[in-house]
Each structure stands twice: as C-alpha cells, then as structure tokens.
Amino acid sequence: MLNKKYFPSLGFIILSITVACSILFVNWALGPLGYEKASYEEKLGHQLAKEGKVKEASKHFLISAKITDDPISTSRRYRCVASTSRSTEDKIKYFKLALKYNPKNKNAIIGLNSFSKEITYFNRSKGGWSQGGSASAVVRVLEKNTTYEITYFTSSPKKVEHKVKVLIDDKVHKEQIIARGKKYIERVSLPEGRHTIDMSINDTFNPKKLGMSKDDRDLGVNFEIKKAVGDE
C-alpha cells in the first residue's frame, strides 16, 4: 500500500499564523508597560527615601532593577538599591551588580571603593545633610572597642517636634526630640568589624521654599561621625 501523507489544511495554517502574530503583537504592545513599571517603582523608591523610609525604598528600587530595561537604567537602579540597603554585604552585592550592567557607573565605583575607607556616608551631602529624612554611614573599625562621636542637629525653622533616631546595626541606639540649632553629641563604642549607623528625622525642610536660601533640596538631619578624642 502506498503511504499517504497528510498536510494541514490551508485554514489551519492561516489560523496558526494568526495566533503567532497575535502573541507577538501582544508582547510588543505590553513591552513598554514593563519599562513604565520600572520607572514608576524607581520614582516611588526615591519618594520613600526622601521620606526617610529607607527599607521600603530599597524594596522598590530592587523591583525596578529586576525589570528588564536598558543596562544604564538597570545599573542606576541597582546602585540605588545598594545605597539604601542596610547591611554591608547587600551594599557590596548591589554595587557590584550595578557595575556589571554599567562598568562606568561612577557612583557605583565610588560606593564600592568606599568600603576600604574607615567611614563612608550614604545619602548624605558633603555639607553633612541627609538628602531627605534619612542617611547612613558604614564604619570600618580596625581596632577593638573604638569610641566614635556622632554630632547632629537640624536648622529647620518649622514649628514641629523634630525627633531624631539613631540606629546602630539595625538596633535603636537613641531616639530623642531635638531643638533647632542645638548640636547634640552621642558617643558610641564599636567593636572591630563593619558597622552601619542610620540617622533619620521625622520631618524635612526645603530652604528655598521657606525663603531661607536658594538651596532647593529637602534636608533632614545634619550629622558627622568621627573618632572620639583620645581614640585617634
């Protein structure tokens, strides 16, 4: 007997092509939505960081970084994850991921190299102000039981209670209400190793909006960490 070969009908072929094209079209149409979601999550992360909600900000930065996008954007988002992460291990991990997607990411390079320094600040301007309601520092202690001084204050003219919280390695070390313009000094003894110090304040102020200066940043708490006299 002769072997009979069966070929799909013309209608079946047309249907298959139509389905395949529909799938490709849907993927193409929905593609930009992924980019929009990544951008939305990143903006939300920045807003939360400004409000001092660093832990929540880090989560949204990570969500945005995991969404497929161009390498430059992905690198920037992983760098934001690193900057808002609490643990040293996570900071190093995400700085490295940022450099994987963009080896020329200067902020990630500086962030990663900073772990060889004794004190490294994150989300803090050169003038000492937290950018928004919170900032942090990683202290690399080389000797046992080294004492450091944390100096902090606010210049906010707003008539609200200003409450500052100091966390050391994720544990509340100090929480107090501070007066405008008054400097406070907190002494802490840290054992050998890496430690994270988080500073946060419940309210921020914008000098430009308040008519104080041309500075249009949202400022929180001004702080500095250095070895106590006698420990240097």
Domain assignment of residue 134, given as a range: 117-227
* 159, 143: one domain: yes
pTM reported for the whole predicted model: 0.62
Q: Does the residue 105 lie in any domain?
A: yes
28 or 202, higher pLDDT: 202
* 151, 211: one domain: yes
For residue 196, give the amino acid letter: T
Position 7 pLDDT exceeds 60: no
* Terminal CA-CA length for the chain: 99
- Over range 68-85, report the average pLDDT: 92
Q: Does the residue 9 lie in any domain?
A: no
* 67, 104: one domain: yes
Q: Does the residue 28 lie in any domain?
A: no
Residues 6 or more apart from 212 whose CB is under 8 A from it?
157
* 134, 220: one domain: yes
| Domain edge (last residue) among 81, 115, 149 | 115
Q: Does the residue 221 lie in any domain?
A: yes
Q: Any idea what the CATH number is for the domain that residue 136 is in?
A: 2.60.120
The number of folded domains in the chain is: 2
Q: Looking at residue 105, what is its pLDDT? A: 95
Q: Does the residue 204 lie in any domain?
A: yes
The beta strands (E) that lie in the chain are given as 119-122, 129-131, 134-141, 146-153, 162-168, 171-178, 184-190, 193-201, 219-227
Q: Does the residue 8 lie in any domain?
A: no
- As a whole number of angstroms, the distance between CA 51 and CA 44 comes to 11
Q: Looking at residue 68, what is its pLDDT? A: 85
Which one, of 230, 92, 195, lies nearest residue 78 by Cα?
A: 92
66 or 32, higher pLDDT: 66
* 98, 142: one domain: no
* 102, 173: one domain: no
- Number of Cβ within a 10 Å radius of residue 8: 9
Least confident of 11-25, 79-93, 196-210: 11-25
Q: Looking at residue 19, what is its pLDDT? A: 64
- Over range 68-89, report the average pLDDT: 90
For 161, the token pair is: 């209670």
* 81, 148: one domain: no
Q: Looking at residue 143, what is its pLDDT? A: 83
Least confident of 26-35, 38-47, 121-130: 26-35
- As a whole number of angstroms, the distance between CA 207 and CA 204 comes to 10
- What mean pLDDT, rounded, does the chain reach? 86
Q: Helix, strand or coil for residue 35?
A: helix
| Domain edge (last residue) among 115, 143, 158 | 115
pLDDT tens, position by position, 135-177: 999 999 988 889 999 999 999 999 999 999 999 999 999 999 9
The answer to whether residues 11 and 31 touch, using CB atoms and an 8 Å cutoff, is no
* 144, 93: one domain: no
The answer to whether residues 194 and 114 touch, using CB atoms and an 8 Å cutoff, is no
* 128, 103: one domain: no
* 141, 59: one domain: no
* 194, 105: one domain: no
- As a whole number of angstroms, the distance between CA 128 and CA 135 comes to 10
* 140, 111: one domain: no
157 or 1, higher pLDDT: 157
The answer to whether residues 92 and 78 touch, using CB atoms and an 8 Å cutoff, is no
pLDDT tens, position by position, 83-138: 998 888 899 999 999 999 999 999 999 888 877 789 989 899 989 999 999 999 99
